[in-house]
Amino acid sequence: MNRSHLPSALTLALCAALLAGCARSGPTGPQAVWQDEFNGTTLSSARWTPQIGNGFMSGNDYVSGWGNNELQYYTDRPENVRVENGELIITARRGAYQGSANGQTSTFDWTSARVRTAGKFSRAYGRFEIRAKFPTGKGLWPAIWMLPEEPSPYGTWAAGGEIDIAEGWGSKPTELAQTLHYGGQWPNNVYSGTTVNFPNGGTMDQWHTYAVEWTPGKIQWFIDGKLTSEKTGWWSARGAPPTSDADLHPWPAPFDKPFHLLLNLAVGGNFDGNPNTSTPDTAEMRVDYVRVYGLTGETASPGPRPATKFPWTPAVARPAQPDGNLVFNESFDWADTDPRVTADAPRLDGVTQSAYWTLFRSDGQATLSNDAAAGKALKVDITNPGSVNYAVQVRQDGLNLESGGKYEVSFDAWAQTARPMMLKVGGGQDRGYAAYSGEQTIQLGTTKERRTVTFDMKVTTDAATRLEFNLGNAGTGPVWIDNVVVKRVGNAAGARPPAADGNLLYNAAFTQDSPNHPGIAGVPGTAYWSTWSNVPDRLTTSVSGGTVTLNVRDVDPANNWHVQLNQTDVPLTAGKSYTLTFKGRATDAREVAVVIGENGGSYARYLDKTAALSATEQPFTYTFTAAATNPAAQLQILGAVGTPGSSYGLSFRDFRLVQNP
Say how far apart CA 581 and CA 594 lie, in whole Å: 11
**How far is residue 255 from each of residues 258, 275, 615, measured CA to CA in Å?**
8, 34, 53
Find all residues with CB under 8 Å of 507, minimum gap 6, and list them.
519, 525, 526, 527, 528, 529
Say how far apart CA 617 and CA 649 lie, in whole Å: 13
- Phi/psi of residue 274, nearest 5 degrees: -90, 155
Catalytic residue among 162, 213, 330, 468: 162
Say how far apart CA 251 and CA 287 lie, in whole Å: 34
Asked if residue 330 lies in contact with residue 485, where contact means CB atoms within 8 angstroms, the answer is yes
Active site annotation includes 162: yes
Environment class of 139 (CB within 10 Å of its CB; exposed 0-12, middle 13-18, buried 19+): buried
Residue 526's CB is within 10 A of a number of other CB atoms, namely 26
- Helix (H/G/I), strand (E/B), else coil: 419: strand
Say how far apart CA 83 and CA 278 lie, in whole Å: 28
Encode 198-221: b = buried (16+ Cβ within 10 Å), e = exposed. Answer: beeebbbbeebbbbbbbbbbbbbb
Sign of the torsion formed by the C-alpha atoms of 421, 425, 429 and 432: negative
User: For 341-448, where are the E strands, in sequence order?
Assistant: 358-361, 365-371, 377-384, 392-401, 405-415, 419-426, 440-444
Nearest to 363 by CA among 330, 386, 332: 386
- DSSP states along 296-312: TTTTS---SPPP---TT
Asked if residue 191 lies in contact with residue 427, where contact means CB atoms within 8 angstroms, the answer is no
Catalytic residue among 167, 213, 330, 468: 167
Asked if residue 193 lies in contact with residue 228, where contact means CB atoms within 8 angstroms, the answer is no
Active site annotation includes 167: yes
Find all residues with CB under 8 Å of 308, minimum gap 6, and list them.
233, 234, 235
Nearest to 650 by CA among 620, 623, 622: 620
The count of C-alpha atoms lying within 13 angstroms of the C-alpha of 476, restricted to the half-sphere facing its C-beta, is: 6
Sign of the torsion formed by the C-alpha atoms of 173, 175, 180 and 183: negative
Q: How many helices (H) and strands (E) does the chain have?
A: 1, 39
Environment class of 300 (CB within 10 Å of its CB; exposed 0-12, middle 13-18, buried 19+): middle
Say how far apart CA 250 and CA 497 lie, in whole Å: 39
Instruction: Tell how strand 162-168 and strand 175-183 pair up.
Output: antiparallel
Say how far apart CA 400 and CA 44 lie, in whole Å: 54
Catalytic amino acids?
A: 162, 167
